[in-house]
């Protein structure tokens, strides 16, 4: 396993290219299973999660050709097995996105239950309950979700008890191929859901209400996409770099970042004193020399994203005064707190709220990455810490950030990757 050694306190010099969005690419890659002709993607990020998705597709018979340096991916859909095995699903929960396309196209699927996760229980009961409304028999047996369409897929009225991103995505896919009308209430309005919906529409799907809490779909015949599909920039990666710019007090250009999907993140950093110059091609971050504390709550889009919570908490260690961050999406997403405390952070967790006392000069120490965003927050913390921080188990980071260490090196940070 690899570890990163970061020498702080660091300064960032220059600009950084924001890579393609992981959580947009994954549902689009699984949706390829709906088609019978090859599909081309560009700006595909070079991530372990993408490797995992392609591995699952290949187990099902679907091969792909990925020119990693150029970010070009071609998928050749062909399904010889409708099983997503535990061995791979356990590595990435987003594998549950195989369920929707397999049911929509073949009327059956066998996808392993993902199991536990460092950030919360993360069950998939909302996916299963919603699928049953479409005339799908779903059994959970031997650790697998076994789904079989009874006679045909029929449109349904789905009311999600809580906003679920991949749940909405799976149902959007199934509904686009079901007979008749579907209404999804309490749907996720995340930009990644809109991207999937727009992609399906470009293939002939009839969908209205994307980006709102109610999505209406009428089943239609889909045609394979003709043009190349571009993966948009990753809004969470861009937000992570804003945190890095703040704690290092370094102005930073985020090339390719899309401010239009980052309003709540930009607003939070603005209220801490950051200034942004925004254009279509980039965001220039101008961090303040001292910054304000604040109270933030994570919420579904357009609220402040849970995927930025760990990075924000780290940034708040450097703010003047007491801040609080309330996590409302996942019940256990404060694993980074114990590690940040090892660097000297003053953070208390009471139920789903973290109270941070700042400013503190963090000092380097060995720490352990526990999940993707926690790992990113530890890298940000290391940049602002005095001395050497060794972050172990950074495979989590490689799942969702394209070459973070190379990007840091290019910005002038002293960072080394070692095998442990
Ligand atoms: N939930 C259930 N039952 C379900 C589905 C969800 O109880 O059937 C609960 C979850 O346990 C959670 C809440 O509902 O408490 C919301 O979970 P959601 O289903 O929205 O999460 P997800 O679809 O599994 C996606 C992202 C996550 C991101 C969340 C929230 C992808 C591939 N993953 O997960 O991304 O945190 O939405 O925005 O899109 C990450 O990139 O680091 C990451 C974890």
pLDDT on residue 117: 67
Mean pLDDT over the full length of the chain: 96
- Please work out whether the CB of residue 113 comes within 6 Å of at least one atom of ligand 1: no
Q: Residue 283: phi, psi to the nearest 5?
A: -120, 130
Residues 6+ apart with CB under 8 A from 184: 158, 160, 168, 171, 172, 175, 214, 215, 216, 217
Long-range contacts, 115-124 (Cβ 8 Å, 24+): 115/86, 115/90, 115/143, 117/93, 117/371, 118/332, 118/335, 118/370, 118/371, 118/374, 119/330, 119/332, 119/333, 119/335, 119/371, 120/330, 120/331, 120/332, 120/333, 121/331, 122/93, 122/330, 124/96, 124/167
In this prediction, residue 122 has a pLDDT band, given cuts at 50, 70 and 90, of: confident
Q: Is the pLDDT of residue 115 over 70?
A: no
**Which pLDDT tens digit goes with each residue over 71-108?**
999 999 999 999 999 999 999 999 999 999 999 999 99
**Which pLDDT tens digit goes with each residue over 22-56?**
999 999 999 999 999 999 999 999 999 999 999 99
Residue 225: other Cβ atoms inside 10 A: 21
In this prediction, residue 239 has a pLDDT band, given cuts at 50, 70 and 90, of: very high
Distance (angstroms) between ligand 1 centre and the Cα of 122 equals 7
305 in Cβ contact with 312 (< 8 Å): no
* pTM assigned to the model: 0.98
Q: Which residue has the tokens 């919603």?
A: 130
- Please work out whether the CB of residue 50 comes within 6 Å of at least one atom of ligand 1: no
In this prediction, residue 332 has a pLDDT band, given cuts at 50, 70 and 90, of: confident
Percent of the chain with pLDDT over 90: 95
Beta-bridged to residue 203, according to DSSP, are none
- Please work out whether the CB of residue 127 comes within 6 Å of at least one atom of ligand 1: yes
Among 117, 255, 365, 410, which one carries the catalytic annotation?
117
pLDDT on residue 320: 97
In this prediction, residue 118 has a pLDDT band, given cuts at 50, 70 and 90, of: confident
Determine which residue's CA is closest to atom 2 belonging to ligand 1: 123
Q: Is 117 among the catalytic positions?
A: yes
Residue 140: other Cβ atoms inside 10 A: 13
Task: Give me 315's structure tokens.
Answer: 């940034």
Q: Is the pLDDT of residue 119 over 90?
A: no
Distance (angstroms) between ligand 1 centre and the Cα of 165 equals 6
**Which pLDDT tens digit goes with each residue over 196-216?**
999 999 999 999 999 999 999
Cis link prior to 359 (omega < 30° from 0)? yes
**Which pLDDT tens digit goes with each residue over 358-415?**
999 999 999 998 899 999 999 999 999 999 999 999 989 999 999 999 999 999 999 9
211 in Cβ contact with 22 (< 8 Å): no
Burial of 419 (0-12, 13-18, 19+ CB in 10 A): exposed
pLDDT on residue 331: 83
**Which pLDDT tens digit goes with each residue over 149-180?**
999 999 999 999 999 999 999 999 999 999 99
pLDDT on residue 1: 84
Residues 6+ apart with CB under 8 A from 213: 185, 186, 187, 189
Distance CA 104, CA 161 (A): 23
pLDDT on residue 420: 83
| Minimum mean pLDDT range among 16-20, 120-124, 237-241 | 120-124
Distance (angstroms) between ligand 1 centre and the Cα of 2 equals 27
pLDDT on residue 116: 62
Distance (angstroms) between ligand 1 centre and the Cα of 31 equals 18
115 in Cβ contact with 87 (< 8 Å): no
pLDDT on residue 78: 96
Closest C-alpha to 56, from 101, 24, 23, 15: 101
Q: Residue 132: phi, psi to the nearest 5?
A: -60, -30
């Amino acid at each position: 396993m690899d570890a990163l050694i970061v020498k702080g306190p660091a300064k960032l010099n220059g600009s950084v290219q924001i890579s393609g969005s992981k959580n947009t690419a994954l549902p689009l890659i699984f949706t390829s299973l709906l088609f019978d002709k090859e599909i081309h993607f560009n700006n595909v990020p070079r991530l372990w999660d993408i490797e995992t998705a392609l591995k699952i597709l290949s187990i099902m018979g679907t091969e792909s050709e990925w020119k990693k340096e150029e970010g070009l991916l071609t998928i050749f859909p062909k399904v010889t097995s409708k099983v997503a095995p535990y061995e791979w699903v356990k590595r990435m929960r987003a594998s549950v996105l195989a369920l929707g396309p397999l049911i929509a196209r073949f009327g059956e699927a066998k996808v392993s239950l993902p199991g536990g996760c460092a950030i919360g229980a993360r069950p998939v009961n909302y996916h299963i309950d919603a699928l049953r409304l479409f005339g799908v028999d779903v059994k959970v047996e031997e650790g697998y979700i076994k789904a079989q369409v009874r006679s045909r897929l029929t449109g349904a009225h789905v009311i999600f008890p809580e906003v679920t991103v991949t749940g909405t995505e799976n149902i959007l896919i199934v509904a686009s191929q079901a007979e008749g009308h579907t209404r999804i209430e309490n749907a996720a309005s995340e930009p990644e859901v809109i991207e999937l919906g727009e992609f399906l529409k470009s293939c002939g799907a009839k969908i209205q209400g994307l980006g709102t809490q109610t999505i209406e779909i009428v089943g239609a015949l889909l045609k394979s996409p003709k043009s190349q599909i571009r993966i948009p920039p990753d809004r969470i990666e861009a937000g992570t770099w804003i945190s890095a710019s703040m704690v290092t007090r370094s102005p930073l250009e985020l090339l390719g970042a899309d401010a239009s999907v980052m309003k709540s993140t930009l607003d939070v950093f603005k209220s801490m004193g950051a200034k942004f110059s925004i254009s279509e091609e980039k965001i220039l971050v101008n961090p303040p020399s001292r910054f304000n504390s604040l109270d933030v709550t994570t919420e579904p889009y357009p609220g402040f994203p849970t995927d930025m919570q760990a990075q924000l908490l780290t940034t708040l260690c450097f703010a003047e005064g007491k801040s609080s961050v309330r996590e409302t999406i996942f019940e256990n997403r404060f694993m980074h707190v114990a590690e940040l405390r090892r660097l000297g952070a003053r953070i208390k967790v009471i139920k789903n709220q973290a109270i941070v006392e700042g400013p503190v000069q963090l000092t380097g120490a060995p720490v352990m990455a526990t999940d993707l965003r926690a790992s990113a927050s530890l890298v940000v913390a290391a940049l602002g810490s005095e001395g050497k921080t060794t972050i172990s188990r950074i495979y989590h980071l490689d799942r969702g950030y394209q070459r973070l260490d190379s990007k840091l090196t290019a910005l002038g940070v002293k960072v080394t990757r070692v095998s442990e």
